[in-house]
């Protein structure tokens, strides 16, 4: 990649959206899978139907036009009709775990709902739901979804059934994109600048909203294409929701910076005549997160820390591990602060809970779920069990296993137990034999050779597959595929195996991983246009410090060996200066500095950099137009960008990448 294109490749992609489902060759459930799913159904309290009553309570109107939302160009950015196969009174197909089927049925209950007096929610227009809170003269909006288009469609539905009032405030409960991305669909930034609309968020929001997925954005996004299953068809042998919601919209991601930051637990803020009392919860489900009580309405919002699924202490797309102890502690504090006052609990995912006793039961059991995972994972670790052994041994106690909200539709007991172990102890299990293992593709060649060759392994694996031992079959066949990626019998049998594991999975995310892996083995990597959060708002919100950090991780260290230079960057429109240094194959930067002896100095507006990142223009074009000025050695600047790697989004996951 040429140096002048390299600057525009910053990975502000959260994950592929609205990809076309490729034609697959999915197989039916085996008798072992049918029996496993039937057995699972016998262990769960399906006679507890309170969630269905709660999910339907307060229904006012359904989504118009089948819920389809289009952008200004007429492109579909949200279409829930693919989930029409999930019928409310139908029995679970034998290819979907009955508990996941139940969750999917709940998630397809959509429309405009009255939560309580003056609080309304629209559910089913995105992976999250949007809440409208009626104050004295206007509306406060909580968490305006992923996309501007779906947020506007939600507002239109609300206004079609409620008296028209202006939006006077927006609250972001935390720093994930599905809780702020649609804000410009409902609010004009000029009204925020004029003080007509307040934007309230937890301290640290602006930094975390952009930075979390930038430095490792490419690999996170690729893995998210497995996690959320956008490549899968929506049918009983394909994607069966994401557990936390149906899936994500694919419209324009926007952001408006907060005008009010909440910094301390106990802080109060009056918005449109209503008193909001906040509780800080940083480092729980998001790096910047907060809960609040609306005192006059006795309405409690626990953000994403007490929804109707076991959440992730570690998300399978990849992210920093979350603190289970802190998470549980925040829920204890929530009960102490607000448990005796709240009469309704509403969150930006799923359906509300009504009544003090029900609220206390719900939050207590969620608190105890995270606390149990934390304590028991460490108890087993302290007895000498490894991360994998801890995850295999750990099960929730009966009271929590029977709690629907503790079931693992999004997070899971297994990978959350591993997250706790990793949070405290890291990747090494203490056994020196695992301290310096061979890379997977290299080791797999040795394994296959030891086991008598690929054909012999596949023959034995067919017997274990026919016996229903799918976990071991997948583990063995993985070695064959890594050792000989073109071995079609191994690929086909591994695909069949992953598929059955997906059909048996209660966890929607695990299911999507298994089924997308099977698809990739059968058809190769399905390269479709990835969704992109490189919107003008997101690019503008990215600090220049983060931008230069990102350039540093793209530096190809071996290629940079022996090279040295110093380059000044000056962005006069925002009053920021940086010195970038290359030495010892490391690219470092200092802000607010200028090096008189630099090899070159580059001056141009931050606004121009934004346009380059967005692909609206190029560096050569801006140089020719005189908007970028280079003083000194222009070749040093060219060399810097020539040393940056570009990241291929569609790298292999279930087969080795080239060069392994």
- Is residue 1 very low, low, confident or very high in pLDDT (cuts 50, 70, 90)? very low
pLDDT above 90 (res 328): yes
Question: CB 255: neighbour CB atoms within 10 A?
Answer: 25
532 compared with 137, residue with greater pLDDT? 137
**Backbone dihedral region of 111: left (phi > 0), alpha (psi from -120 to 50 degrees) or beta?**
left
What is the length of the chain? Answer: 660
- Label residue 534 by pLDDT band (50, 70, 90): low
pLDDT at 433 over 80: yes
Give the model's confidence band at 8: pLDDT under 50 very low, under 70 low, under 90 confident, else very high. Answer: very low
Asked whether residue 307 carries a pLDDT value surpassing 60, the answer given is yes
pTM higher than the cut 0.85: yes
Q: What is the pLDDT of residue 159?
A: 98
Predicted confidence band of residue 530 (pLDDT cuts 50, 70, 90):
low
3-state secondary structure of 560: coil
Helix (H) or strand (E) holding 611: helix 606-613
Q: Is 26 left (phi over 0), alpha (psi -120 to 50) or beta?
A: beta
In 3-state terms, what secondary structure has residue 424?
helix
Residues contacting 387, CB < 8 A, separation 6+: 381, 417, 418, 421, 422, 425, 427, 429
Indicate the pLDDT class of residue 659, thresholds 50, 70 and 90: low
Kindly report the backbone phi and psi dihedral angles of residue 580, in degrees, each rounded to the nearest multiple of 5, phi listed first. Answer: -110, 130
Secondary structure of residue 329 in the 3-state scheme: helix
Which pair of tokens denotes residue 392? 């295999």
Query: Among candidates 351, 366, 376, 396, which has minimal Cα distance to 43?
Result: 396
- Give the E-state strand segments of 172-273 in sequence order: 198-202, 260-262, 268-271
Dihedral (CA of 279, 282, 284, 285) sign = positive
Q: List pLDDT tens digits, range 62-116.
A: 999 999 999 999 999 999 999 999 999 999 999 999 999 999 999 999 999 999 9
Q: What is the pLDDT of residue 474?
A: 98
For the cut 90, the answer to whether the pLDDT of residue 141 exceeds it is: yes
Continuous segment of H or E residues that includes residue 299: strand 299-301
State residue 624's pLDDT score.
Answer: 84
pLDDT, one tens digit per residue, over 560-614 is: 999 999 999 999 999 999 999 999 999 999 999 999 999 999 999 999 988 888 8
* Of 199, 326, 336, nearest in space to 266 by CA: 336
Q: Give the CA-trace dihedral at 522, 528, 530, 536, to 10 degrees.
A: 180
As a whole number of angstroms, the distance between CA 544 and CA 20 comes to 35
Confidence class of residue 217 from pLDDT cuts 50, 70 and 90?
A: confident
Which range has the worst mean pLDDT, 254-263, 297-306, 438-447, 636-645? 636-645
Give pLDDT tens digits for 159-213.
Answer: 999 999 999 999 999 999 999 999 999 999 999 999 999 999 999 999 998 887 7
Cα 538 to Cα 111, 210, 247, 446, 516, distances in angstroms: 29, 7, 21, 46, 29
Domains and CATH numbers, the chain: 31-406 (3.60.15.30), 437-523 (1.25.40.880), 542-642 (3.30.1050.10)
Can you tell me the distance from the alpha carbon of 522 to that of 68, in angstroms, rounded to the nearest whole number?
A: 31
DSSP characters over 144-184: --S-HHHHHHHHHHHHTTS----EEEEE--BSSGGGTTTGG
Residue 11 predicted with pLDDT over 90: no
- Give burial (CB, 10 Å; 0-12/13-18/19+) of 45: exposed
């Amino acid at each position: 990649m040429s140096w002048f294109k390299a600057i525009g490749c910053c990975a502000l992609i959260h994950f592929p959206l609205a990809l076309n489902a490729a034609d697959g060759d999915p197989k039916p459930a085996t008798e072992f899978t049918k029996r496993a799913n039937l057995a699972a159904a016998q262990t769960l309290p399906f006679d507890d139907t309170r969630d269905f009553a709660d999910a339907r309570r307060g229904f006012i109107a359904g989504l118009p036009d089948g819920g389809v939302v289009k952008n200004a160009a007429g492109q579909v950015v949200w279409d829930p009709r693919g989930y029409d196969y999930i019928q409310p009174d139908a029995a679970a197909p034998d290819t979907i775990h009955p508990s996941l089927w139940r969750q999917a049925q709940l998630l397809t209950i959509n429309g405009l709902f009255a939560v309580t007096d003056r609080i309304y929610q629209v559910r089913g227009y995105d992976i999250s739901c949007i809440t409208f809170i009626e104050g004295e003269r206007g509306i406060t909006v909580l968490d305006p979804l992923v996309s501007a288009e779906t947020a506007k469609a939600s507002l239109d539905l609300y206004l079609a059934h409620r008296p028209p009032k202006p939006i006077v405030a927006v609250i972001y409960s935390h720093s994930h994109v599905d809780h702020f991305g649609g804000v410009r669909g409902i609010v004009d930034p000029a009204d925020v600048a004029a003080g007509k609309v307040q934007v309230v968020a937890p301290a640290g929001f602006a930094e975390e909203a952009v930075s979390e997925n930038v430095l490792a954005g490419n690999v996170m996004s690729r893995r998210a294409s497995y996690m959320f299953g956008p490549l899968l068809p929506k049918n009983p042998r394909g994607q069966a929701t994401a557990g936390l919601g149906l899936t994500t919209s694919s419209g324009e991601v926007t952001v408006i910076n907060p005008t009010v930051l909440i910094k301390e637990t106990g802080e109060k803020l009056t918005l449109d005549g209503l008193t909001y009392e906040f509780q800080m919860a940083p480092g729980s489900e998001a790096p910047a997160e907060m809960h609040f009580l609306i005192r006059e309405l006795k309405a409690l919002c626990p953000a994403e820390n007490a929804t109707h699924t076991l959440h992730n202490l570690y998300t399978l797309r990849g992210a920093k591990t979350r603190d289970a102890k802190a998470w549980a502690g925040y829920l204890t504090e929530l009960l102490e602060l607000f448990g005796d006052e709240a009469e309704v609990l509403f969150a930006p995912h799923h359906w509300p809970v009504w009544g003090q006793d029900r609220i206390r039961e719900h939050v207590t059991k969620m608190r105890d779920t995270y606390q149990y995972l934390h304590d028991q994972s460490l108890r087993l670790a302290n007895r000498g069990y490894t991360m994998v052994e801890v995850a295999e041994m750990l099960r929730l106690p009966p009271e929590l296993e029977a709690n629907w909200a503790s079931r693992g539709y999004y997070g899971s007991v297994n990978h959350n137990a591993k997250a706790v172990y990793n949070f405290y102890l890291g990747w090494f299990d203490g056994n020196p034999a695992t301290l310096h293992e061979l890379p997977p593709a290299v080791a797999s060649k040795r394994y296959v050779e030891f086991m008598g060759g690929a054909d012999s392994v596949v023959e034995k694996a067919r017997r274990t597959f026919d016996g229903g031992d799918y976990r071991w079959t997948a583990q063995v066949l993985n070695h064959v595929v890594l050792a000989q990626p073109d071995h079609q019998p191994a690929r086909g049998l591994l695909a069949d195996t992953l598929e059955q594991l997906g059909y048996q999975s209660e966890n929607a995310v695990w299911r999507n991983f298994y089924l997308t892996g099977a698809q990739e083995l059968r058809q190769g990597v399905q390269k479709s246009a990835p969704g992109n959060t490189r919107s003008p708002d997101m690019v503008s919100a990215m600090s220049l410090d983060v931008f230069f950090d990102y350039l540093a991780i793209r530096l190809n260290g071996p290629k940079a060996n022996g090279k040295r230079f110093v380059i000044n960057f000056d962005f006069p429109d925002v009053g920021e200066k940086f010195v970038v240094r290359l030495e010892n194959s490391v690219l470092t930067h200092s802000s607010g500095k200028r090096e008189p002896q630099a090899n070159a100095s580059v001056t141009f507006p931050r606004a121009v950099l934004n346009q380059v990142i967005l692909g609206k223009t190029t560096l050569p074009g801006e140089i020719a137009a005189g908007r970028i000025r280079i003083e000194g050695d222009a070749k040093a600047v060219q060399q810097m960008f020539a040393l940056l790697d570009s990241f291929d989004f569609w790298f292999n996951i279930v087969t080795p990448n080239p060069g392994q």
